[in-house]
Structure 1
């Protein structure tokens, strides 16, 4: 028979790995916000690659731990779903950063920083939600989920303003296509945060 200490010990392992994945995702959004606050500078992409590497390592460890562990603190499918959702955040952020570094000279006058700030805040809320999972305090998780929904709505509003620039008639077709691509990548990054938050909240609902 397995003791409670065994169960809680397995739980700490998975929660720690999910925390690492959430922190790596948040760090990628911090790096993007820093990049977009100073568009005139030439920025290194090392921070994004490091965040992706850390996320990948955490994801691999979660997968291996699921194979090795007979007991998990929450359902295996939920651990996999949350790990996968967290993995997609820095992947999307790095995609934006890579393209921005290449096209920076063609994006003068476009201020992405306020939207990147919203993305960073959203990823920060996801970190809080993941860290809250071991405690399963539903009221706290609901408050964080509501906060994430507000951030998503505000980010959508800001991105809509950017789309107004696209369709203003002042831009060439090639410029419209380029900006639309960047807006969509940034929008998806925020959606990835929301998706991770939804998974975390549903886990809390199921286990509270």
Structure 2
């Protein structure tokens, strides 16, 4: 039998699970930046796999809690949307790490660290936004949302510069392909952070 607390739900458990999910995304981003700024840049895939395991675990717990809880602190659809958005961040980062490990011999001349640093910053802002959900402070969330938007805009600007390099005619076909492929994966990971932030912001906007 379910306990009354299970049936009626506890807002605290959902906020804690969302925090756990955001933390896992941040750990993946931090691991990627740490790897790419090292001189040898040898991929240590265990860190990314662990982050994905943590993320999947948190996602499963959120789904289970939604089924078992009669009452929730915010709308179920919002919890599901936010959980889904957070789930996609480490998934995208792991995609980069897996492919990077296969193409490392062709990537020694490419510096991914600055973009990875931006991704880590974006994931850090997402952690703050998720942590702030329980307070429903619109002013604070607006500041964080703007910070995340600025990071996304800067990433877009850097991508335009990258395309300028790609189409300059100075690179061979393999270099062009790899630059485009890997930087677009990083850009998409930042976009995933932005998407999670937008969902969190809209939740506070709706409930404030």
**What is the TM-score with the length of structure 2 in the denominator?**
0.94
How far is 1:204 from its partner? 0.2
Structure 2: gaps of 5 or more residues: none
Aligned equivalent of 1:61: 61
How far is 1:112 from its partner? 0.8
**Cα displacement string for residues 117-172 of structure 1 (whole angstroms, at most 9, x for unaligned residues):** 00000000000000000000000000000010111111222222222221121111
Taking the aligned partners of 1:152 and 1:73, their CA distance within structure 2 comes to 30
**What is the TM-score with the length of structure 1 in the denominator?**
0.94
The answer to whether the 8 A contact 1:115-1:159 is kept is no
Structure 1: gaps of 5 or more residues: none
The answer to whether the 8 A contact 2:119-2:189 is kept is yes
**Cα displacement string for residues 29-67 of structure 1 (whole angstroms, at most 9, x for unaligned residues):** 000101110252423100000000000000000000000
**Cα displacement string for residues 84-117 of structure 1 (whole angstroms, at most 9, x for unaligned residues):** 0000000000000111111111012211111110
How many residue pairs end up in the alignment?
Answer: 204
Taking the aligned partners of 1:41 and 1:139, their CA distance within structure 2 comes to 40
How far is 1:12 from its partner? 0.1
Aligned equivalent of 1:78: 78
Taking the aligned partners of 2:7 and 2:122, their CA distance within structure 1 comes to 31
Aligned equivalent of 1:34: 34
Aligned equivalent of 1:135: 135
The answer to whether the 8 A contact 1:7-1:73 is kept is no
RMSD: 1.6
Moved over 4 A (4+): 5-9
**Cα displacement string for residues 5-42 of structure 1 (whole angstroms, at most 9, x for unaligned residues):** 99996100000000000000000000010111025242
